[in-house]
Structure 1
Amino acid sequence: MTRFAAIDFETACHDADSACAVGIVVVENGEIVSRLYEIIRPPTRRFAFTHIHGLTWHDVKDARPFDAVWDTLLPALEGIDFLAAHNSPFDRNVLHACCGTYGLPPPETGFVCTVQLARAQWDIRPTRLPDVCRYLGITLRHHEADSDAEACARIVIAAQEEGWRFR
């Protein structure tokens, strides 16, 4: 089977490099083997999305910046076949923007979008994360990066159990 990581970012504002939290869940052979969660101090104090995820500048001002957090998360991603995210273009963009801001090479690993996977596998519509989780019976604390990442991991696991394979 595969080794993959599900990833979810929460951002402080519209700036793609404004990650203020990240959750990563690593899966090997259909089993969750590790969960990682970090709050991140974004490059600016601007917070426009507190109403979505509940995080404020006060919550993250003493946190490490992305480059320091990434150094501790990167080892968990070694040997993965792909990254999974719900609406993966968003998370891929945040990851690449944060890496760019700090002069880090982004991972070359491809992304699987669990929105597209849920539509293809189960024809779920609408395909917001809470909708997919409700359909599959997955517990979710939406817009908490660790819970969202675990939900994405469980979506991929459910698809794998029904025969889906990463190409």
Structure 2
Amino acid sequence: MNFIAMDFETANHERHSAVSIALAIVRDDKIVDEFYSLIRPETYFSRRNVAIHGIEEHDVLDAPKFSELWPVIQPLFTEDKLVVAHNAPFDNGVLKGTLNYYGLEEPHYMLLDTVRTSRQFFPSFNNHKLNTVAENLGISLVHHHNALDDAAAAANILIYEAQHFGAEALRPFVKYR
């Protein structure tokens, strides 16, 4: 399988408040490249979000705004590309909200949510949070809520599922955006 896994962390509940982004690029069932960046949002930081991911306002003072990062990663978001996220409605919502905030055109791509696939393939798990699924499958997740570790874990969950259930079993979960 070839795809990218994405993960965002946010400053607050607003969908345009991304403070970090990570992409894990998968080719032939292996992570072959990774991208990570802090992002300087144009909004406030909530204590709740900072407590989750540990990224504070002073950490992103010199980071680029999302509008400066988008030209670098935009080529990965095309109609023929599969984008994967664990809880894809959240990460896809952050991407869409941030693009809209900056007046940037939304790309079209295929989207798959590994929360949905893990619920289907592993119904006996206590829950289907990223750390729970990763632990049950023996997938490394050193720093949960670090965007790069989370993106890599989501990628490895899909790789595991494809190897154990076949790529065809994943097709019903692909949505076109």
Instruction: Indicate the residue corresponding to 2:174 in structure 1.
Output: none
Aligned to 1:138: 139
**Aligned residue in 2 for 1:108:** 108
8 Å contact 1:23–1:38 — kept in the other structure?
A: yes
TM normalised by structure 1 equals 0.93
Q: Does 1:164 align with 2:175?
A: no
In structure 2, the gaps of 5 or more residues are 172-177
In 2, Cα distance between the equivalents of 1:41 and 1:67? 10
Deviation digits for residues 100-159 of structure 1 (CA, Å, limit 9, x no counterpart) = 011112221121111111111222330011100111111111000000000000000001
Matched residues, percent identical?
Answer: 37
Matches of 2:60 and 2:108, distance apart in 1: 28
- Cα deviation, residue 46, structure 1: 3.0
Q: How does 1:12-161 map to 2 (within 5 A)?
A: 12-48=11-47, 49-77=49-77, 81-123=81-123, 124-140=125-141, 141-161=143-163
Contact kept? 1:5, 1:80, Cα under 8 Å: no
Counterpart residue identity of residue 125, structure 1: N
In structure 2, how many angstroms separate the alpha carbons of the residues matched to 1:119 and 1:37? 28
* 1:88–1:111 Cα contact (<8 Å) kept: yes
Counterpart CA distance in 2 for 1:87 and 1:79 is 21
Shift in CA distance, 139/80, structure 1 to aligned 2, threshold 3 Å: farther
Structure 1 gap ranges (5+): none
Secondary structure in structure 1 of the residue aligned to 2:41: coil
Deviation digits for residues 26-62 of structure 1, max 9, x if unmatched? 1112111110000000012433311000000100011
Whether contact under 8 Å (2:78, 2:108) holds in the other structure is no
- Structural RMSD (CA): 1.5
How far residue 80 of structure 1 moved from its aligned partner, in angstroms, is 5.2
